A and B are shown apart, each in its own frame.
Chain A
């Protein structure tokens, strides 16, 4: 069987989790598969989506929920997308301005992530009583786990982000500057942009994404559905190269990060890229260091497996955020977009894969083992901030 297309263009956004694409290109892992890949740095998620749709890009790093929203035609062009590979887990955090951080300190009863959300709820209520403008919090895109994690965290403390807070979207790299200028009071964004804002003194990191949902899905490698159908061998070759890149990165992220810096893919000081991996980021009302486990998982814990239950969770959050028109039957598309079958076909012969495409979330405080095709597969902890158990079987998305 042969590669259908050798010369490929892949899109990415400057973020720590574009590293699998960058490493596969810079280390020659794509070339090992007979592929000639050009990486294209893009300025917005909207443009990544549009360039994929019109065929200017063959594949791209994609916010996981975008694969669903584009397939459903929510907020833009409708084009069926496919992902058969998750680029990793975790990587987000919430950072607030120094002023809001100080205000939260006055209201907080406990320093936990839930305590911080509760304190934020009190600030919101006080502002409303005093007739002041609502807090402005930024995420990167309406269909993003940044949006859903932020809303989920706030909802756990009884704050309805849609009603009580003004939500805006900004490019990741502009979060820090907007915080400094007082245009926003906080943001939820992927690394390195929390570390950058903290290192430059623009704000304080309040919660890691891991504290809201341990080992949550984040970016995926996405392609257009028709493209996947017409280029099965090329797709498989791309996934093999990305898989090798992810394993290499996970082995020693500190050794891999300079690729982002040197290749001018993510234009920030290397020290800031390294902060979360060195445990140097201080987090929470108590400003304690957080370990590496709070941030990117590139390969271990079956991080690249495209869990259909992750897609279920996202569909539920879309519905919860009022993004799903009643007429849209999102449940029908989950299995068409989240192609665990392709992942299984590519990697099933070489390692043990989870037996099922769906798993529950929130039941494991520690790493655990699920049934696998060739012996048990170790997965990461998966607690949710509100201690809830999420079961895809009872999800409205599958109803």
Chain B
């Protein structure tokens, strides 16, 4: 069972697991009656986004042996600490029914970690591109302000900004932001 609020990531992971001959019995978003679904479908393994608020619901189920003849335990053997560390850093967590073949469990968890990591890298790249783009826009705007108000050439404007950045130990986008602020103020 997969619990993830990002349908694209969940779909990727489902495909990867199917490729390895595992059956995915359900793909859920968070806060959608997880406890009932677990009781109904009795999955062997639950792969869940580490930022899902539903994790505490699962941990509670694992603590109640009365209701659950096949308690779900977190992937938590002493030997698996390194795997858990990789999982947490990749942003994924797993709950596993007691008594499952450890080799098969490892494969599932490894596949999940790999897919979550891939997605994480993709997202980070996107975010970086986005901030880079925003930074560049800001620098261009500051440059244009200097050119208009200080009658500078484009090259002179850029040089002035770079000098300020070096003198003050600031990032260029920060210098640009300061310049924009100053001109915004003086225009009010």
Contacts and interface: CB of A to CB of B under 8 A. Distances in A.
A389 interface: no
A213 B89 CA distance: 39
Which of the listed residues A42, A140, A171 has the most CB atoms from chain B within 10 Å of its own CB? A171
Interface stretch (B52-60, B125-133, B165-173): B52-60
Nearest to A162: B66
Nearest to A177: B31
Contacts, number: 85
Contacts of A47: 50-51, 55, 93
A171 B56 contact: yes
Interface string A69-101: 000011111100000000000000000000000
Contact of B89 (A45, A54, A76): A54
Contact of B51 (A43, A53, A74): A43
A141 B59 contact: yes
Contact of A46 (B35, B55, B66, B78): B55
Interface residues of B, number: 30
B81 interface: yes
A246 interface: no
B91 to A, nearest CB: 10
B46 to A, nearest CB: 12
Contact of A44 (B53, B63, B73, B89): B53
A51 B31 CA distance: 22
Contacts of B60: 139, 141-142, 167-169
A396 B136 CA distance: 66
A43 B55 contact: yes
Given A44-B52, A77-B74, A54 B84 contact: yes
B45 interface: no
B64 interface: yes
Interface string A196-237: 000000000000000000000000000000000000000000
Interface in A275-329: 323
Interface string A324-368: 000000000000000000000000000000000000000000000
Interface in B19-68: 31, 33, 35, 50-64, 66-67
A38 interface: no
Contacts of B59: 45-46, 75-76, 141-142, 169
Contacts of B73: 75
A141 B60 CA distance: 6
Contacts of A173: 53
B56 A170 contact: yes
A156 to B, nearest CB: 22
Contacts of B74: 46, 75-77
Given A50-B93, A169-B56, 16 more contacts: A43-B51, A43-B52, A43-B53, A43-B55, A53-B88, A54-B84, A56-B88, A77-B84, A78-B76, A78-B78, A141-B59, A143-B63, A166-B67, A169-B57, A169-B60, A174-B53
13 contacts: A44-B52, A44-B53, A46-B74, A47-B50, A50-B50, A54-B84, A78-B76, A162-B66, A166-B67, A169-B56, A169-B57, A169-B61, A173-B53
